[in-house]
Amino acid sequence: MGIRWMPIDDDERAPLFRPPGEAGSVIVRVAYGCPWNRCTFCGMYKGVRYGVRALEDVLRDLRAAARDEADAQRLFLADGDVMALPWPYLEAVLREACVVFPRLARISLYANGRSIQEKGDEVLAQMRALKVHTLYMGLESGDEELLRAVSKRETAGEMADACRRAQAAGLRMSVMVLLGLGGRAGSARHAARTAEALNQMQPRLLSVLRCMPIPGTAWHTAVTGGALDELSEADAVAELRALIGGLELPRTVFRANHVSNVVPLEGRFPHDKARMLAELDALLRSGRLETRGPGRRPLFL
pLDDT in tens, 244-260: 999 999 999 999 988 88
Give CA–CA dist 61/178, Å, rounded.
34
For residue 213, tell me if it sits in a domain.
Answer: yes
SS3 content of the chain, % helix, strand, coil (to 5): 40, 15, 45
Q: At 242, is the secondary structure helix, strand, or coil?
A: helix
Give CA–CA dist 180/148, Å, rounded.
16
Residues 101 and 170 in one domain: no
Q: What is the pLDDT of residues 15-73, one digit of tens each?
A: 788 998 898 999 999 999 999 999 999 999 888 889 999 999 999 999 999 999 999 99
Q: Which of 12-16, 188-192, 262-266 has the highest mean pLDDT?
A: 188-192
For residue 130, tell me if it sits in a domain.
Answer: no
**Residues forming a β-bridge with 267:** 254
Evaluate whether 181 touches 235 at the Cβ level (below 8 Å): no
Q: Could you tell me the CATH number of the domain that includes residue 3?
A: 3.30.750
Residues 62 and 157 in one domain: no
Number of Cβ within 10 Å of residue 77's Cβ equals 27
Give CA–CA dist 136/121, Å, rounded.
18
Q: Which whole-number Å values give the CA distances from 162 to 1, 99, 148, 159, 290, in the listed order?
A: 29, 29, 18, 5, 38
- 145 Cβ contact list (under 8 Å, min separation 6): none
Give CA–CA dist 108/17, Å, rounded.
13
Dihedral angle sign, alpha carbons of residues 49, 50, 55, 60: positive
What confidence category does residue 298 fall into, taking pLDDT thresholds of 50, 70 and 90? low
Q: Which whole-number Å values give the CA distances from 145 to 150, 166, 213, 231, in the listed order?
A: 9, 25, 20, 19
Residues 102 and 182 in one domain: no
Q: Could you tell me the CATH number of the domain that includes residue 203?
A: 3.30.750.200
For residue 291, tell me if it sits in a domain.
Answer: no
Q: Residues 95-123: what's their mean pLDDT?
A: 97
State residue 9's pLDDT score: 47
Residues 153 and 78 in one domain: no
Residues 247 and 155 in one domain: yes
41-70 residues labelled b (16+ CB within 10 A) or e (exposed): bbbbbeebebebbebeebbebbebbbeebe
For residue 125, tell me if it sits in a domain.
Answer: no
Can you give the pTM of this predicted structure? 0.93
For residue 294, tell me if it sits in a domain.
Answer: no
For residue 115, tell me if it sits in a domain.
Answer: no
State residue 277's pLDDT score: 98
State residue 16's pLDDT score: 83
Instruction: Assess whether pLDDT exceeds 80 at residue 13.
Output: no
Q: In the chain, count of helices (H) and strands (E)?
A: 10, 10
Domain that holds residue 30: 1-110
State residue 129's pLDDT score: 98
Give CA–CA dist 218/224, Å, rounded.
10
Length, in residues, of the chain: 301
State residue 12's pLDDT score: 54
State residue 301's pLDDT score: 44
**Residues forming a β-bridge with 109:** 77, 135
Q: Residues 116-138: what's their mean pLDDT?
A: 97
Q: Where does a domain end: 91, 110, 129? A: 110
Number of domains composing the chain: 2
State residue 47's pLDDT score: 82
State residue 48's pLDDT score: 87
More confident residue, 90 or 9: 90
Residues 205 and 93 in one domain: no
Residues 271 and 167 in one domain: yes
Residues 15 and 77 in one domain: yes
Q: What is the pLDDT of residues 170-213, one digit of tens each?
A: 999 999 999 999 999 999 999 999 999 999 999 999 999 999 99
Average pLDDT taken over every residue of the chain: 93
Q: Residues 270-277: what's their mean pLDDT?
A: 98
For residue 301, tell me if it sits in a domain.
Answer: no
Q: What percent of the chain has pLDDT over 70?
A: 94
Give CA–CA dist 157/295, Å, rounded.
33
Residues 282 and 146 in one domain: yes
Residues 145 and 262 in one domain: yes
Residues 99 and 163 in one domain: no
Q: Residues 132-147: what's their mean pLDDT?
A: 98
Q: Where does a domain end: 93, 110, 127? A: 110
